Chains A and B, each alone.
Chain A
Amino acid sequence: MTVAVITFGGSNCDRDAVRALAHVGVDAERVWHEDGLPSDVDGVVLPGGFSYGDYLRAGAMAAQSPIMNEVRDAAEDGIPVLGVCNGAQIGCESKLTPGAFTTNASARFQCESVYLRVENSDTPWTAAYDAGDVIEIPIAHGEGRFEIGEDRYDELVADDRILFRYCDAAGNVTDEANPNGSRGNVAGILGERESVAVMMPHPERATLPDLGRSVDGEGVLSAFV
């Protein structure tokens, strides 16, 4: 299993992702976006960072990179694709996933640990958890407010495509526990296929035990095992 962690100009969580994937036993390598996807790729991670300085909108420029056509084709073939943080913004901008991640309600960059409630455990990304589980994973973003039209949101809910919602330590999904004003406290969603997912929190920052904090993110990365 070789997972390609795509490095765009301005990606900065690519190394962390490779390391965290290695910890869960997944062979991963960084791939420069201009080099295209390796032919034997078994998975794709769009990592966090500030690709192209967040010009225009976070993720808008990276979404135009030719490698994203290859990523879309790979996703169509059922290859697992995970977008994290800036990777989630790129995922929505490139229409791998619906909606948009835009300016936090606070209008500030927020770097903090948050609690997430697992909404649907019947996906590769959440199979390690039970629905209703509360996990702790950090966020670090200025543009993480999930926005989508009401009809599309209702469809996502009806189709069980919400992976995680921001909640408090007890699992209550409340406005107070919503760090960025996301619609429905949504922190992560599925694409058309359950093998495609994006999330603003960073599972790769909550995987290595040496960091001395939550390792709750390991379960997400285990989808690539």
Chain B
Amino acid sequence: MTTYTATVTVRLKRGVLDPEAETTKRALERLGFELDALRSADQFEIDLDADSPEAAADRADEMAERLLANPTIHDYDVEVDEA
């Protein structure tokens, strides 16, 4: 068993309105920054023991499917590194 860190990034699907990101973008503009767009995402870093990076990724994938993301509005990706 090796300890891995699985990083799950959950984003709104393209086209789904993100009012918090819009508000943040406006606040940055108010500070004088120039920007075209801003997207927000949630990131989860999960330490876990697994036999292989693939096994760690599979488990993190299931976590995203079942809880961390809502498939109706979210896309997600999983990256695995040795901890």
Give A contacts to B, CB under 8 Å: 56-57, 60, 64, 92-93, 98-100, 102-107, 145, 147-149, 181
A100 touches B73 (CB 8 A): yes
Sample of 19 A–B contacts (CB below 8 Å): A56-B67, A60-B67, A60-B70, A92-B72, A100-B70, A100-B72, A100-B73, A102-B16, A102-B73, A103-B19, A103-B20, A104-B19, A105-B17, A105-B19, A107-B20, A147-B72, A148-B72, A181-B17, A181-B19
Question: With an 8 A cutoff between CB atoms, is B22 at the interface?
Answer: yes
Instruction: Add 7 more A-B contacts to A60-B70, A100-B72 (CB < 8 A).
Output: A56-B67, A56-B68, A92-B72, A104-B19, A107-B22, A147-B72, A149-B72
B67 touches A64 (CB 8 A): yes
Q: Write out the residue numbers on chain A whose beta carbons fall within 8 Å of the beta carbon of B68.
A: 56
A-B contact count, CB below 8 Å? 34
Contact of B17 among A56, A57, A145 (CB under 8 A): A145
A64 to B70, CA, bound (A): 13
A106 touches B19 (CB 8 A): yes
Give B contacts to A, CB under 8 Å: 16-20, 22-23, 67-68, 70, 72-73
Dominant secondary structure at the A interface: loop
A149 to B72, CA, bound (A): 7
Which 7 residue pairs are nearest across A and B when measured between Cβ atoms?
A107-B19, A100-B72, A107-B23, A103-B19, A100-B73, A147-B73, A100-B70
Q: Write out the residue numbers on chain A whose beta carbons fall within 8 Å of the beta carbon of B73.
A: 100, 102, 147
A148 to B71, CA, bound (A): 10
Q: Write out the residue numbers on chain A whose beta carbons fall within 8 Å of the beta carbon of B72.
A: 92, 98-100, 147-149
- State how many angstroms separate the Cβ of A117 from the closest Cβ of chain B: 23
Q: Write out the residue numbers on chain B whose beta carbons fall within 8 Å of the beta carbon of A106.
A: 19
A100 to B72, CA, bound (A): 7
Q: Write out the residue numbers on chain B whose beta carbons fall within 8 Å of the beta carbon of A103.
A: 18-20
A145 to B20, CA, bound (A): 13
Residue of A64, A106, A148, A149 most packed against chain B (CB within 10 A): A149
